[in-house]
Structure 1
Amino acid sequence: MDYQELKLLEDDLWEAADQLRANSKLTASEYSMPVLGLIFLRHATTRFNDLLPEVLKAVPARATGALREDRLKLGFQSKAAIYLPESARYDYLAALPAGTNVGAAIRDAMIAIEDSVTDQKGQKLLEGALPKDYLGLEQDLLAELIKIFNRPALQTAKGDVFGRIYEYFLNQFAQSGAQEGGEFFTPPSLVRMIVNVIEPDHGMVLDPACGSAGMFVQTGHFIEEVCHKNTNDIDITFYGQEKADLNSKLARMNLAVHGLEGNIRIGNTFYEDHHQLLGTCDFVMANPPFNVDGVQVAKIKSQVGENQTGRLPFGLPGVAGKSKGKNNGDGETISNANSLWIQYFYSYLNASGRAGFVMASSASDAGNKDKEIRQKLVETGHVDVMMSIGPKFFYTRTLPCALWFFDKGKPDDLLDTVLMIDARNVYTVVSARSHVFTDEQLLNLSAITWLYRGEHEKFTALLASYQIRAGQYLSQLPERFASDEQQVNLLSQALRNFGQTTADAAIINTVRDRLGDEHCITDEAVEIYRTELIKLDKLAEGWGFALEAALAGIQPIQQAIAGLSPSSTFAERRSLQNQIETISPSLKAALAVLEVRHKCWLKVLDIAEKTLRARHWQNFAADVARNAKKALLPHDAKKREKPTLHDQGLEAIKRASYFIAQGHWLISRFPDGLYDDVPGLCKAVTKKEIEDSDYSLTPGRYVGVAHVSQSDDEGEAFIFRMKEIHADLAELNDLANILATKIQDVFAEMDE
């Protein structure tokens, strides 16, 4: 499921669920947890059903009843997944007969899950975490909610789909007042970026502002997808602390549904340190609240220094003065808590630990005491990477931010430098309010850190993966082009045959008589149709040559891609990339041809059907026209239509070109497969340079401005899109002029 499809699904689910709430007597706060509980249960059931066939293979056929269920439970535990008793499965609830007390059934399902999910010591991991307040809700509302979250797209959802839906609903509820303070949650793009850089694959992992445990869930994905291991098979433990009771419950639910175990405690991290992990963590990840004020100095003074509670090794930030607020009491308060969080994350690390966290952009340049703290941090040599992120990555706020990375295990040759990455111009637009990183953008940014650390084999492997993916889509083009050609030929022949029919004056007069005085089939309209056909016949040969040229270049490229082994060198991969890029112009030409050819033939079909009223002519191939229109028009994603022949052909070219462009992105910036500073993107900055810049850790101050290249695919894409928009605008202007003329004619007739 791509970003656009997921966005549509999120919107549909929220609109349906919120409409139900609007028609009930419930407030947002009363409604939020029951809904999130159902999303949890849907996710748990989807994962259960996905693993069930595999688990059943290990259950003896003779095992029945309670014995069979015990074997099933053991099987799911071995796969780090929740075993669901039959009465707690979403399918069971969705099939309940009319008249059943749905609220009681859901409550019992939640209790059954809490009882069945235990750790190795038999402790209930979800005790008290799942919502059970369903009895007071209207039965019809619950029944409709169950239907909403039982859609086919959710029954087969994979990957991070439910994580996104969780987050989306959490944020929507936050905006509607269901959560005090309106907390917002870390976007998956930023969580994945953090995980990619610090690579948490063992040991003790801490998030002292864990929210709904997104950092831990993504760590689990990283271990499975990158390390190719199961979290149950490695020594890793998750520790989380969260101030909000609601979020701590969501965190426990989120961990359980992903087959992860974690110790989540409730507490205000400024004043409470429940896990006592100072100096012991292998990894620290977090997205703390930005720019918090009002933290009481008296309560945190004891944290300064390197003693037992020394979570502030570099001292206190600036003090705002005395506060007499009801929550603060009398006394001095910290003006901004950003530097408290930064020091906490650093102090929790062991001698080789890594940290990655989200922070307000302003923290990279803040002055006074915050600057002194940054200076001490830089002098340790443990600031590893700083990355600027553009706006619109958060669902509810448009603020830009920065990602900070510490590494206490940095090799000696990197202790004097900090890698600065300015990623503000790297993003994909999902909507006017939302940006994300695609998988490839995440990997490309990660590749910069790989090269900086000397991990060249990862860079080569990434380049190879792009080339292989490009080859896979290139292999689809011959079949896609042939199908497209067949459909276009059917339509063009039908339209040519119709064109011949229009040359018969007797037939035209018969149609005019049948339609009456309002027929609109003028001699001029017939001539326009014939003229358009002649134009297309002249263009058809050139279109064919362009598509044949694209296909001719594909075969040697595919052979070259298949000819390289997985252990091929970077030099071999670079040579292959240069060869692959030679077909980019022909692919772009083919893409343009397909789009223009479809548009032109459909335009002539439109003239035939709307102006000449072709369906009233006896010899018009109406079925061929209808099928062609379906095949050569793009599908409507909002209506959940399946991709058409038009979409399939264009998508294969676009995806092949996309992965070729990703390889180009890597090679054009790092042509030797070694780290180098890239203007506008990255720079390895020395401590002296940072000192000369007043200890600023803002990448934009160091990386400079990118050189604009006319051959850069991103630049070409922008120019191409601008031309598309210009053409569309010209077409709309023409249409507007036609309409304006018609309106003037109508008014003129009225005046007469």
Structure 2
Amino acid sequence: MTQDQIRQLEKELWDAADALRANSKLTAAEYKDPVLGLVLLRFAQNKYEEATPVVEASIPAGPRGKRAATKEDYLSAGAIMLPEEAKYEYLANLPEGKDIAEAINNAMKLIEAEYPDLEGNLPKNYQEFESDLLRDLVRVFNKDAVKKATGDVFGRIYEYFLMKFSMQGAGAQEGGEFFTPPSLVQLIVNFIEPDHGIIHDPACGSGGMFVQTGYFVKGHTNKEVNEAIKCYGTEQKTNNTKLAKINLAIHGIEGKIIESNSFYSDPHHLVGKCDFVMANPPFNVSKVDKGREFVKTDKRLPFGVPKTDNANYMWIQYFYSYLNENGRAGFVMASSATDAGHSEKLIRQELIKTGAVDCIVGVGNNFFYTRSLPCHVWFYDKGKRAENKDKILMLDARNVFRKVTTTINDFSAEQLEGLTAIMKLYRGEQPEVSADNSWFTDLFPDGQYRDIDGLCKIVSLKDVEENDYSLTPGRYVGVTIQLDDAFDYQSRLLEIQEELDSLNAEAKVLSNTISNNLKELV
């Protein structure tokens, strides 16, 4: 399938599924998990059918012919050996008199039994759906185009549904964010280039960072994803942990996702071991118990426990501490963190002195689906080239966006490519930029890096020290004045002057009238 065909299929499936919800009593949060579970069931059958000829061809013929295929044969081919009653076709063709909800619940149990990583994570509450609604929903994912979809296409569909549910506020209804907008995930992946080794996300949500890393590996290496990288995630919320495990399974990514609170545990023991760290942690978390012995002795806090009732600078230190000597990190953070004062400023000062802070990107409003505030994306690189050891790239991208809806913005493909190219040039590398990328070529016509007012500037650690250790890009890049060549500024200024003179004359008349009236009263 082409990219356009995949996008069309995503939209058709979502529109059909969402129309069914609109005619039910279910909220987006109640609808989300069962729908994503059906996507997994459909995917499992497609993978099973895709793997069957491969499995059959791999079984050697013996004196009595070929032996029967086993569960292990299918697992080695990246599929699950599905029992008959767990196949999507079985559910789609279930007679009207049979209980469809019970049949789907049973299918989920059968798959969990065959795939230990999913045990206890699949939805089994389909009895809450009306029978007709459930049968219609099963038909949505039984169209011919869906039956022919490959694993990568299903990964795209799953991520698309996660995004749409997040846009409807399903995460907010459950008390948290579970999905990082693709633009921000792609920006992080493009900048840190996670193509090998240990990848860690200690606030992994639905696992989107790992998914985009998988795509990056496929597009930039000759290795299989699970050969190139090892994924480790920690997530506090039970439902998000389940989403992440399903997401990785659908994308064929092996990973260890643990449900735990990162403030009070370090379940993967990865301090100093990670090649890449990526995260979108919850911002401005309060009420973390800093009196706990684990927190007071946490080696992930090398610059100290922040005294303020805000966990931002705990996360900021965690990401630094997980990296090995050449590791890179990219993470989303509240805008306030780049200028935070008191104990947080002291921590930031020590962090900056290490030379690991590589780049800060300012992002404008409305990139998140359930909150509209701006944010910053921080980047660390402990293996910087020598020329950049005492430098930081400041990128103010608050005015770089594409309007998706009246309340949602993102980066266009052209803008993402351009921002990535700026990072490449800063690193002394030659970027690959499309010939028709006017956003980049207008700013950098010769393809060489230069500081641009209002957008980017390479600053020294001395510059940062002189600016009170602020890491806010807007403080360094200045402002850009954009003139509209088609607008007659001189004529407009004359008009304004005439309006002002007229208003002043009216004010003088009014003032005299008031003064005369007061004299008469006195």
The TM-score with structure 2 as length reference comes to 0.83
**CA pair 245-129 structure 1, distance change in 2 beyond 3 A:** same
Question: What secondary structure is seen at the aligned counterpart in 2 of 1:125?
Answer: helix
2:255 corresponds, among 258, 262, 274, to 262
* Aligned counterparts of 1:363 and 1:263: Cα–Cα separation in 2: 30
CA contact (8 A) 1:210 1:242 kept: yes
1:105 aligns with 2:79: no
- 1:312 equivalent in structure 2: 301
- 1:148 equivalent in structure 2: 140
- 2:35 equivalent in structure 1: 35
**CA pair 703-13 structure 1, distance change in 2 beyond 3 A:** farther
- 2:73 equivalent in structure 1: 74
1:699 aligns with 2:473: yes
Shift of the alpha carbon at 1:187? 0.8
- 2:22 equivalent in structure 1: 19
Letter matched to residue 77 of structure 1: S
Q: Which has the larger radius of gyration?
A: 1
**CA pair 65-372 structure 1, distance change in 2 beyond 3 A:** farther
Shift of the alpha carbon at 1:215? 0.8
Shift of the alpha carbon at 1:189? 1.3
* Aligned counterparts of 1:317 and 1:683: Cα–Cα separation in 2: 30
Q: String of CA shifts for 1:196-238, please: whole Å, max 9, x gaps.
A: 111112211111111111111111111112224311332x211
Identity percentage over the alignment?
49
* Aligned counterparts of 1:54 and 1:397: Cα–Cα separation in 2: 48
* Aligned counterparts of 1:704 and 1:314: Cα–Cα separation in 2: 31
Question: What secondary structure is seen at the aligned counterpart in 1 of 2:120?
Answer: coil
Q: String of CA shifts for 1:543-562, please: whole Å, max 9, x gaps.
A: xxxxxxxxxxxxxxxxxxxx
Shift of the alpha carbon at 1:665? 3.2
- 1:162 equivalent in structure 2: 158
Letter matched to residue 371 of structure 1: K
Shift of the alpha carbon at 1:356? 0.7
Letter matched to residue 12 of structure 1: D
Q: How many residues align?
A: 479
1:50-69 equivalences under 5 Å are: 51-52=50-51, 55=54, 58=57, 67=67, 69=69
CA contact (8 A) 1:238 1:261 kept: yes
CA contact (8 A) 1:171 1:185 kept: no
1:134-145 equivalences under 5 Å are: 134-135=126-127, 137-145=129-137
Shift of the alpha carbon at 1:246? 1.0
Which ranges in structure 1 are unaligned for 5 or more consecutive residues? Answer: 118-123, 320-334, 468-659, 717-752
1:461-540 equivalences under 5 Å are: 462-463=432-433, 466-467=434-435
1:666 corresponds, among 420, 440, 453, to 440
Shift of the alpha carbon at 1:67? 4.7
Q: CA RMSD in A?
A: 3.2
CA contact (8 A) 2:29 2:171 kept: no
Q: String of CA shifts for 1:609-659, please: whole Å, max 9, x gaps.
A: xxxxxxxxxxxxxxxxxxxxxxxxxxxxxxxxxxxxxxxxxxxxxxxxxxx
- 1:337 equivalent in structure 2: 311
1:283 corresponds, among 276, 281, 288, to 276
Question: What secondary structure is seen at the aligned counterpart in 1 of 2:278?
Answer: strand
Shift of the alpha carbon at 1:8? 5.0
Shift of the alpha carbon at 1:294? 0.9
Shift of the alpha carbon at 1:416? 0.5
* Aligned counterparts of 2:368 and 2:144: Cα–Cα separation in 1: 28
* Aligned counterparts of 1:137 and 1:686: Cα–Cα separation in 2: 59
Shift of the alpha carbon at 1:666? 3.1
CA contact (8 A) 2:414 2:439 kept: no
2:352 corresponds, among 378, 391, 397, to 378
Question: What secondary structure is seen at the aligned counterpart in 1 of 2:24?
Answer: helix
Question: What secondary structure is seen at the aligned counterpart in 2 of 1:185?
Answer: coil
Letter matched to residue 212 of structure 1: S
2:364 corresponds, among 387, 390, 393, to 390
CA contact (8 A) 2:74 2:80 kept: no
- 1:537 equivalent in structure 2: none
Question: What secondary structure is seen at the aligned counterpart in 2 of 1:387?
Answer: strand
1:109-120 equivalences under 5 Å are: 109-117=107-115
Shift of the alpha carbon at 1:395? 1.5
* Aligned counterparts of 1:11 and 1:432: Cα–Cα separation in 2: 20
* Aligned counterparts of 2:381 and 2:177: Cα–Cα separation in 1: 29
* Aligned counterparts of 2:66 and 2:403: Cα–Cα separation in 1: 52
* Aligned counterparts of 1:52 and 1:282: Cα–Cα separation in 2: 33
Shift of the alpha carbon at 1:379? 0.6
**CA pair 667-35 structure 1, distance change in 2 beyond 3 A:** closer
Shift of the alpha carbon at 1:41? 2.3
Determine which structure has the larger helix proportion and give its number. 1
* Aligned counterparts of 1:5 and 1:389: Cα–Cα separation in 2: 29
* Aligned counterparts of 1:60 and 1:679: Cα–Cα separation in 2: 64
* Aligned counterparts of 1:32 and 1:125: Cα–Cα separation in 2: 21
- 1:216 equivalent in structure 2: 210
1:204 aligns with 2:204: no
Shift of the alpha carbon at 1:158? 5.9
Shift of the alpha carbon at 1:357? 0.6
Shift of the alpha carbon at 1:43? 4.0
1:401 corresponds, among 375, 386, 394, to 375
Shift of the alpha carbon at 1:100? 2.4
CA contact (8 A) 2:172 2:370 kept: no
Shift of the alpha carbon at 1:109? 2.0
1:133 aligns with 2:107: no
Letter matched to residue 130 of structure 1: L
* Aligned counterparts of 1:256 and 1:428: Cα–Cα separation in 2: 32
1:240-259 equivalences under 5 Å are: 240-259=233-252
- 2:503 equivalent in structure 1: none
Shift of the alpha carbon at 1:697? 0.9
**CA pair 68-402 structure 1, distance change in 2 beyond 3 A:** farther
Shift of the alpha carbon at 1:295? 0.9
Q: String of CA shifts for 1:107-135, please: whole Å, max 9, x gaps.
A: 23222322333xxxxxx211111122334
Question: What secondary structure is seen at the aligned counterpart in 1 of 2:124?
Answer: coil
Shift of the alpha carbon at 1:153? 6.1
Question: What secondary structure is seen at the aligned counterpart in 1 of 2:291?
Answer: helix
Question: What secondary structure is seen at the aligned counterpart in 2 of 1:107?
Answer: helix
Shift of the alpha carbon at 1:81? 5.0
**CA pair 283-303 structure 1, distance change in 2 beyond 3 A:** farther
